[in-house]
Structure 1
Amino acid sequence: MSSKLEELQGLVAPVVEALGYQCWGVEFLSQGRHSLLRIYIDKLPDGVLIEDCEIVSRQISGVLDVEDPISAEYTLEVSSPGMDRPLFTIEQFASHAGEQVKIKLRSPFEGRRNFQGLLRGVEEQDVVVQVDDHEFLLPIDMIDKANIIPRFD
């Protein structure tokens, strides 16, 4: 995780949690002069409503205005993780074992960057994914993006 992302996570997570939500994850996409700060919140057992996103957005905006961690223009987006929920932490991967996932790595591992298959679980700091008949142990620090593949059954 980059130091900027760690700084942002450290600023927003306590605010989100103080409001009674779970800070599911933070993404910071630096795109030149216009960046995007996306904060995923969750609330069990009912889930997240648009009003929840508005409440968190207002509070986070205030904190970011005071702390000013992003010098350039940026868009703040507060969202539910949704059905294709992104996975950020080893604990999140462990709790979603048995789900189908899509994983993109920062750099190739065994000749490939994209994996889609069954999330078998975790082993220490590795995510275990079964693709067809082959099991891959993917180091968590190599994962750029991971999402649950929604089931409609």
Structure 2
Amino acid sequence: MALKEIVEQIVTGLGYDLVEIERSAGGLLRVTIDLPWVAPVVDAPIAEQFVTVEDCEKVTRQLQFALEVDQIDYRRLEVSSPGIDRPLRHTQDFERFVGYTIDVTLKQPLGAAAAGQVSANRKKFRGVLERVESLADAAQLVLAEPSWQIVWRDEIVTKPGQKISKKRALPPLQALGFVLSELKEARLAPIVSFKGRTPAQQLDESEPHLN
């Protein structure tokens, strides 16, 4: 079997999700795992759980054995939990992190026809992830590919030391719609919070979200 198939079989067999596999210089094989996501029940409190050292050790032991059996060449194995810039690769990842601030990089720039308020050559964006509900969704039809968007406000440009008046008009909300096949990369925005991963605040006028 190929490396990805071996690793995925072991990781999922132990009850975890495979997030990423990386080969680095010096023969390092890095495997990132996460706990499976279960869609929250409406009105139920969300108790977020995290991968522990014990989880990583369990996966490491099983992977070492499997990779040796299949004679996969590597020098060092590192199994870890996702960082604050966790990659989003699959539809389930996007479902899981609706309401969070993410960074996306498009495969192709917007182009002059679709750019609007942003540069036609721009490919990188940061905003709050939302799922786009279409007429087909409402009719309970199956779409070929789910649609998503991110919403943001540009930062207010100020001079050094200048204070922003509370009465000052906020920059307009902007939105970028996309499907996963249009993305080169998507990750959770690496925003440091001592409260753990939590959805972003709504982009209303009382608590504007700024890039």
Given the two structures, how large is their TM-score scaled by the length of structure 1?
A: 0.71
2:101 matched residue in structure 1: 100
Question: Which stretches in structure 1 are left out of the alignment for 5+ residues?
Answer: 1-6
Per-residue CA deviation, residues 103-122 of structure 1 (Å, 9 max, x unaligned), is 234x3431223211110126
Aligned to 2:70: 67
Q: Which of 24, 27, 48 is equivalent to 2:21?
A: 27
Classify 1:135/1:46 alpha carbon distance in 2 versus 1 (closer, same or farther; 3 Å).
Answer: closer
Superposed displacement of residue 84, structure 1:
4.2
Aligned match of 1:15: 10
The answer as to whether partners of 1:37 and 1:74 remain within 8 angstroms in 2 is no
Aligned residues: 143
Contact 2:148 2:179 in 1 (8 A): yes
Look up the equivalent residue of 2:59 and give its one-letter code: V
- 2:137 maps to none
Contact in 2 for aligned 1:102/1:117 (Cα 8 Å): yes
What's 2:162 paired with? none
Please identify the structure whose Cα radius of gyration is greater: 2
Quote the offset at 1:67 in angstroms.
2.2
User: Greater helix percent: which structure?
Assistant: 1
Structure-1 separation of matches of 2:185 and 2:34: 20
8 Å contact from structure 1 (residues 42, 81) kept in 2: no
Change beyond 3 A, Cα 1:64–1:126: farther
TM-score, normalised via structure 2 length:
0.55
The percent identity for this pair of structures is 26
CA contact (8 A) 1:101 1:118 kept: yes
Local SS of the residue matching 2:123: strand
**How far apart, in 2, do the equivalents of 1:40 and 1:13 lie?**
10
The secondary structure found in structure 2 opposite 1:38 is strand
* Distance change (3 Å), C-alpha of 1:145 and 1:99: closer
Quickly say closer, same or farther: Cα 1:115–1:27, change in 2 above 3 A. Answer: farther
Alignment RMSD (CA, Å): 3.1
One-letter identity of the residue aligned with 1:40: I
Q: Which has the higher strand share?
A: 1
8 Å Cα contact 2:22/2:31 also seen in 1? yes
Alignment counterpart, residue 139 of structure 1, candidates 174, 179, 182:
179
| Structure 1 residue 82, shift from structure 2 partner | 4.4
**Cα distance 1:65–1:144, how it changes in 2: closer, same or farther (>3 A)?**
farther
Structure 2 match to 1:40? 33
Q: 1:51 aligns with which of 37, 50, 54?
A: 54
> Which of 122, 129, 148 is residue 127 of structure 1 equivalent to?
148
Residue pair 2:128, 2:150 contacting (<8 A) in 1 also: yes
